[in-house]
Structure 1
Amino acid sequence: MNALILETLFNKEKGISQRELASKLGISLGKVNEELRQLKNNGLITQNNNVTEKGEKVLGASHPQRAIILAAGYGMRMVPINMEEPKGLLEVNQEPLIERLIKQLHKVGVYEIHIVVGFMKEHYEYLIDKYDVELIVNSHYSEYKNMYSLLLAKDYLANSYILPCDVWFKGNPFNRIENESYYLFSNQVVNNSPWRVQPRGSVKKIPLDQSGNRMVGLAYISSKDAEMLSQLLEEIQINKELLYGFWETLLEQDKKFILKGKIISNGDFKEINSYEELRDLDYNSNHLQNDAIKIIEETLEISPKKIKNIRVLKKGMTNRSFFFEHDSNKYIMRIPGKGTDELIDRQSEYDVYQTIKNMNWTEKVLYLNPDNGYKLSKFIKNSHNCDTNNSEQVQECMNLLRKLHHSVFKVNHRFDLYNQINFYEELRGNVSAYRDYDEVKERVKKLRPFIEKNAKKEVLCHIDANPDNFIFSKKHLYLIDWEYAGMQDPDIDIAMFAIYAMYDQQKIDKLIQFYYHNQCDSLTKQKIYAYIAACGLLWSNWCEYKQSLGLDFGAYSIAQYRYAKEYSKKVLNYLGE
């Protein structure tokens, strides 16, 4: 409070009475008298309440000098909006969130603003010219939480605000004078916060079975506490596991919260973490006019207000999908992933779904665009994916594949395995990350005559026979996601299931016998091995292409290359080559 009175006295145009000070600052007259006495005793003001030179120095040290805005993350809960714009640039009342924060900082004299960007970083570039901000690029935004973002900005912690880019404040949360460091909490109590702010600002850790004050994400760090926080950030270099957490975890040391807590009313701010939260704050926001939402509106003939419980689903290898509810019904909206237009012929996919649309063992598709791949389908309730370690479930999956392969369904396109291998190779570039790629590819090429000589009559195959695409409900088994489907030798689907499940040879042999009801001959088994080698190379190239776009599939990508390498050897040994 001393600093606020000091600033008020410093900025006065005319003499201001003690009563006017009390009214302006919202404190009692007795409190004003006490504070003025302390200021005089400390030599910060004269007997006439004029600010001394020493007082001016204190004021300078209490003035926030800079801000760090954390804006690097995906904002995955913002589906489907985050496919088009980073959440810091979402508009509320025709104003981007981050611009509102910058303007509020400017109003209290804070002009040095550092913004840590990552996802869609280019979209923030215009802020450099418009507001003279500095952009700090976080290249690891997909790996780490915002701890790494703050580490990149640790040189700017002194007398600085730290804040997320996705909070909208009704009033200005920043001040010209800050007496001490603090972290901002809401007066709302929630189950997932272990902290309770006490009446005088201390923050107490509470038991897990109790509710704590909601953490807002905004903090102010004084120059003194900046040294401590900077040192804690430096220690992350030793314990890199902390990079996978939020920066607020540093504020707990020896089971104590190292900053004071400051309370804001829950009605005075809004954290925009989802489509629904943006809609509730500003129904007319331009960013609610989204292609995916428009499709849902028109197909289901509903208002966007009726769309509830939107949540992102597990990232697919090709697409990004989200779940939502309308009344008692549940749906999945698929949005094609980055680079998908290079990988998938959406017209061919559309033709497949038209062919199988009356089949009762695939998902019910309500909308599919053959130009861009947007797909709306009904969610299969009370269901689960195939458990690759459950023999009974795997056997049912093989029986369903047999049922597909013996059906009368036909389409006018085929899946050309070797052409696709070359196509993905061209997409990912001329040089593979695998040193012996040329040698392995040559072995896989040698398998082609053997495969083609022994290929069965082509039928409609799923091609993407991933165990995750086999969905068990209470009464039914479904096979979903037919993006890659086309006419091919049915044995390719067995091979695809095996390599997606990352089976070893013993499990592969068991899988083959499940499909063939224990009547598979040696030649057919070797041909399936050949498909495993060729399909492994196919998906290895696919993974390398995806990696060039910034997507990494971890152990899966190496496993596919191993299938190409090891099973090409097995089959060539069998053939005596």
Structure 2
Amino acid sequence: MTKETFNELYRKKEFSGLAPYKVENAVIMAAGFSSRFAPLSEVCPKALFPVKGEVLIERQIRQLQDAGIRDIYVVVGHKKELFYYLKEKFGVFIVENKEYQSRNNNSTLYAVRDYLGNSYICSSDNYFTENVFHPYEYQPYYSCLYAEGETSEYCLTADENDKITHVKVGGADSWYMFGHVYVNKEFSKRYISYLTKEYNLPEIRQAYWEEIYMKHLDTLTLYQKRFQPGTIQEFDSLDDLRAFDSFYGTHSQEELLLFLANSLLRT
């Protein structure tokens, strides 16, 4: 099916013809330490920080559900017990990553390898200023933003159809990986095959899941999906969060620790 036909069927809501493109589920990665937010993250995982009046991961779950995505797998590790309430509140599935302390986030995808198909892969600390999710997706993609000047992010080269052909760490005046990913059944099957075969290799233990994708770029197809500046927010440091939500900039660290502890009591 051409993209034009897909868009026309989607516009007319003729969804019966779009069955192979239906998004089946979403994975939200929430197992990490968020060590750059210590000591705040030692009290409350970053995914559970309230941002502009909403808990980060709750906002993302609501956006997925508003797009018709009902099967949502939240992969937990650090302070896992604090996430259990999400199962009752939103009906999500909680999956434990038992290796989060000794491996990078490839272990999160390994924990949900049986569920990956037509799936969104999301980071629990992303904040989307608008709903970026859809019930149907035409092709697998990595969302990206444009960097003017130098950046240390994963920079992309793509062909005339936006198929990613090369990824490198760092660059300038380039589109770079940032935010959520959509993978289809073909991608998932191949990726999980590589992940399973290579999982016990010493060099894979501390690899990001994207590094395994980059290693097999010739057979794992993703397209770049461009977003406007500001649509996707990611908080790598407290300064990033303070710049986005003034509340964090007007309170001391001690006040924020108390605020986060009290926020957890309300979940």
Instruction: Check 1:107–1:285 CA distance in 2 against 1; reply closer, same or farther (3 A cut).
Output: farther
Match of 1:3 in 2: 6
Match of 2:241 in 1: 278
| 1:81-480 correspondence runs (5 A) | 81-188=40-147, 190-205=151-166, 210-211=171-172, 212-254=174-216, 256=218, 258-284=221-247, 290-291=253-254
- Greater relative contact order structure (CA < 8 Å, 6+ sep): 2
Structure 1 or 2: larger strand share? Answer: 2
Whether the 8 Å CA contact 1:72–1:149 is kept in 2: the answer is yes
| 1:67-78 correspondence runs (5 A) | 67-78=26-37
Secondary structure of the 1:227 match is helix
Instruction: Check 1:289–1:131 CA distance in 2 against 1; reply closer, same or farther (3 A cut).
Output: farther
Match of 1:362 in 2: none
Residues in 2 aligned to 1:223 and 1:112: alpha-carbon distance in whole angstroms: 16
1:86-133 CA distances to partner (integer Å, 9 max, x unpaired)?
011111111011011101101110010001101111111110100011
TM-score normalised to the size of structure 2? 0.85
Whether the 8 Å CA contact 2:143–2:178 is kept in 1: the answer is yes
Residues in 1 aligned to 2:255 and 2:9: alpha-carbon distance in whole angstroms: 54
Whether the 8 Å CA contact 1:117–1:136 is kept in 2: the answer is yes
Gaps of 5+ in 2: 258-267
Secondary structure of the 1:171 match is coil
Seq. identity, % = 26
Instruction: Check 1:293–1:180 CA distance in 2 against 1; reply closer, same or farther (3 A cut).
Output: closer
RMSD: 2.6
Instruction: Check 1:274–1:68 CA distance in 2 against 1; reply closer, same or farther (3 A cut).
Output: same
Instruction: Check 1:288–1:186 CA distance in 2 against 1; reply closer, same or farther (3 A cut).
Output: farther
Instruction: Check 1:228–1:120 CA distance in 2 against 1; reply closer, same or farther (3 A cut).
Output: same
Whether the 8 Å CA contact 1:166–1:271 is kept in 2: the answer is yes
Secondary structure of the 1:155 match is coil
1:270-290 CA distances to partner (integer Å, 9 max, x unpaired)?
101211111111112599564
TM-score normalised to the size of structure 1? 0.41
Secondary structure of the 1:83 match is helix
Residues in 2 aligned to 1:135 and 1:64: alpha-carbon distance in whole angstroms: 19
Residues in 2 aligned to 1:108 and 1:293: alpha-carbon distance in whole angstroms: 33
Instruction: Check 1:204–1:166 CA distance in 2 against 1; reply closer, same or farther (3 A cut).
Output: same
Query: In the TM superposition, what is the alpha-carbon distance from 1:213 to its structure 2 partner?
Result: 2.5
Whether the 8 Å CA contact 1:72–1:116 is kept in 2: the answer is yes
Query: In the TM superposition, what is the alpha-carbon distance from 1:84 to its structure 2 partner?
Result: 1.2
Structure 1 or 2: larger helix share? Answer: 1
1:194-236 CA distances to partner (integer Å, 9 max, x unpaired)?
4234553122326777434332141111122221111122113
Residues in 1 aligned to 2:221 and 2:227: alpha-carbon distance in whole angstroms: 19
Residues in 2 aligned to 1:265 and 1:154: alpha-carbon distance in whole angstroms: 31
Larger Rg: 1
Residues in 1 aligned to 2:122 and 2:42: alpha-carbon distance in whole angstroms: 23
Whether the 8 Å CA contact 1:127–1:133 is kept in 2: the answer is yes
Aligned residues: 251
Query: In the TM superposition, what is the alpha-carbon distance from 1:266 to its structure 2 partner?
Result: 2.6
Residues in 2 aligned to 1:239 and 1:116: alpha-carbon distance in whole angstroms: 22
Which amino acid in 1 is paired with 2:21? S
Residues in 1 aligned to 2:223 and 2:98: alpha-carbon distance in whole angstroms: 32
Instruction: Check 1:179–1:277 CA distance in 2 against 1; reply closer, same or farther (3 A cut).
Output: same
Whether the 8 Å CA contact 1:197–1:213 is kept in 2: the answer is no
Secondary structure of the 1:61 match is helix
Instruction: Check 1:293–1:276 CA distance in 2 against 1; reply closer, same or farther (3 A cut).
Output: same
Query: In the TM superposition, what is the alpha-carbon distance from 1:192 to its structure 2 partner?
Result: 3.7
Secondary structure of the 2:121 match is strand
Whether the 8 Å CA contact 1:160–1:221 is kept in 2: the answer is yes
Whether the 8 Å CA contact 2:142–2:225 is kept in 1: the answer is yes
